[in-house]
Chains A and B, each alone.
Chain A
């Protein structure tokens, strides 16, 4: 004890205590704010949050729709639990829906019919719930596409990409669980197929199935178990992950599209208070309102028309909700010969690949992509400016190829409907789709990549030569030119503000003494992948190129060279003019400029 505190009286001890009263003023708002802040100290954080800037773009609303659908689902789902009876217990229907009177069914089904007919407004809640679930997954997927195609998954957002993927996967399972709860004929058939999927799992299949169903299918355990999973387990995980997702968005601050004034070091947009409170808050009501309108006007999942689940019955055109369509389609396409007996055991790859392996494999690939791309580019910087999809042609093409594969599987789930509606052979449709699943993705990859590169070239042309004005000018010596109007700096910036990754050069495989370098094979792979990604690329226009395009003398020389190269006889002269002809020094150019000034 080297420093000694002088003894003080109790009053003296308290004299340093801060008992200052809150600042006066600001009326009622100030009073409430002071009251809360003195007890929580949140004023600083609140001020920060209210001033937080969000950039404006329609594609940023996709994630919002997903968020609001989740809120609608939680709200309407809670309502539904007040009337739904999660039991496979037997009962005989005695409600107001005549066609089902006296029919034996499960309590789950009977209570769902009651919600639809005998609970006032029950049907609207049920239909909002179902429509919101469909919308939820649509929105998640579109949001995911936006994130992928704009490269928003790059550092530092890789964790959020994976959280998002997990959320999508959980949403699929959650949707399927909810779809199965009413125990109608369609959902029972879906569960029956799900049991078939489980049985196809090598080694453990039948054990898993007997555990999940508490014995043989269907048993009586599955409805209450699914109920707990659907209303407690998965929602809790989804809400938890969603919260983490949003917190990370706040921490990272929102990405923004390239544009004048936007840099990697800022966010340009509108503040939370008041603009985004009104816009985003209002948007919640819009999403909810549209869902309610659709739910009121368009019937979804009319379980009363399907009847209760009866294992010996099935309806033609049995289909899952849309989001499970791709897995169902995969099942329809996988040929039977993938099942075989080996070592006295049955290997059902015709089922296992589509029903069990497909979803985890797709999600693993998607989850690995940000890390693969980062490894190939060697890019360790943070990225907050989004890529325009065309400026990442290989990524965009890969994404479109994946979507086309998904689309083939999705349409395959409707092969029977297509056969009926289009009067085609179901066998032909299935075979064509089988072929498409193999051929279409590479084709789409190639086409998309070419389109991206063409769009990039068009951007370059636009920057170099300006906009075509449609005004033809004849010079004194009889030559014709179309006047081009140069882009202003702000418009131009959007087109030139991107980096074009270059393919890696292959380093020497061995050092000067002829010894193979460690990790040479890995490096070779990386170089080859880098070549695949970046060999075809278009660079952004540089100031020097623009200057060259603008200067008549040089430009003419180039133009002549280009014409000679390609089609020497086609042009009698320089009919294809350019902005350089109506440059700053030109009389017509000035005219054009003055016009646009007004």
Chain B
């Protein structure tokens, strides 16, 4: 068995294969439900209803999608330049810390929101600046440094929440003081549980798209990611571009944590992110690193999580099914995309 490249894949191949991947994912979900002892059709139905079946469910999905759009964009931007930022989780918490620092009395006016958002982005950028400088100056692998920084950052947050940032009224729980009203993101429509963070995420996606396609920096970034040798030969300042990309990526990831604190939770706790930084990688890969596509895949992934939560309340199937669904969706999609470019021949 060998792989042979296909020069021009047919439309049927390019549309059919991703659909087949989706179908295969559904079948895997069904089998998993069967193993758990439930009716697969009922389980799948409950996941769909739980994700988009009501206004409440849909808004919940969009809320969950908000941090995923930010981390997905952060990963998509970095990966576009072949900068392997696995540390969106750490950058997310950097943004969350700033939201608390600025939102618990440092400033008492509505101006606090934009100021704290900008500072959060700066903090996230700073977290990624170290690894990228180590990469460009000393050739240290950023996969290792960004990944390990996640754990350092989690421990730092844990220290803050047990120490200097601990809410004295928190009955001993490791969480921060609640944000003041001025520092909180309002809801888009009064009475509906969806905050402005979601709108901000959509704007961020459009901005990233414009940066990539229309600006000189975007061109440099894509060139560095597509062919480092050719980019360097053509006189593109590779190291500067990598640093700039890191600043953008870190800033975007930080907005995920910032909007979760300022828009949804209102305080910082250790369970702020159930791995949004890592899930952002799946979101970005499923979207083929396209920033507009990230919005769609983030909502899809959020839907699976929210739907699985609802399903597990109704059925006996554990929520871990969501993780397995996502993992298989990613694997099938990667395979489908490979098969749009090559075909398997015998011999």
- Chains A and B are bound partners: no
Q: Which B residues are closer than 8 A to A by beta carbons?
A: none
Q: Which A residues are closer than 8 A to B by beta carbons?
A: none
